[in-house]
Amino acid sequence: MSINDAPLLEVKDLSFWFEKEHTILHDISLSVPKGSLTLLSGPNGSGKSLLMRIIKGLSQCKTGTLLLDGIDVTKEQKKRMRSIGLVFQDAETQVVGQTVEKDIRFGMENLGLDAAEQQKRLDEVAALLDLSRYLDRRPKTLSGGEKRRLAIAGVLVMQPNLLILDEPFANLDWRSTVSVLTTLMRLKEEGHTILLVSHEVEKTLAHADHVLILDEGTIVLSGGKEEVYPHLQRHGIYVPTGIGIEELSWLKP
């Protein structure tokens, strides 16, 4: 599915502080196009996780506006919680079921979805994320990449408008990283809108449609990957030198 120029998420002039003289996020403005894989990156301590939590609805901004599909949801944290799915860096914290199937069903059961709708969503998401053969397995027996895919599945069956992933490649080996990255590309092809929060730009840049760089609480770069690539190291972001963007891809063509 192609990217829609219309933004699914818009953040306008967002600021956050614990104490007024120590502002952590400064007048953040950004947009995430519908159907895109948008990469949000920046050095450690730049405010990425806090911004992600505010977008999700786990924290509230001090000033600014958040629009979801053109609707102002700044004061509607519950709506953001329902409409935005978040996969945390530590996927195991989101895995609660005794089997893979029970874990995927957990959120749907809490919503009170009927059995037929639950089964429909379970079958679709398990097939999409290549988890169908693991449904009877105990989650603790899965690999790191499989656990990450399971955490994504538990979020996807809730049918969020926007999927946010926090450092999805953390502590994963090469095989698991490729597995998760392949999953993200498949989700994008299915039309999902993804905000990928990661400092590992070398793993993700080749596949991003839109790139946002946060440094010291401010968006310092915003644009296509070709546009921002030459300026990344200036903002403390590692990328291998002497190679093109497409050569960074961890996926075989």
Amino acid found at 190:
E
Global model pTM greater than 0.75: yes
Query: Two tokens at 86?
Result: 């978040």
Q: For the chain, which residues make up each domain, given as ranges?
A: 34-59+75-248
Closest CA to 217 of 19, 62, 14: 14
* Residue-wise pLDDT tens digits, 38-76: 999 998 889 999 999 999 999 999 999 999 999 999 999
* Residue-wise pLDDT tens digits, 101-127: 999 999 999 989 999 999 999 999 999
What CATH topology corresponds to 34-59+75-248?
Rossmann fold (3.40.50)
**What string of H, E and C letters represents the secondary structure of 163-215?**
EEEECCCCCCCHHHHHHHHHHHHHHHHCCCEEEEECCCHHHHHHHCCEEEEEE
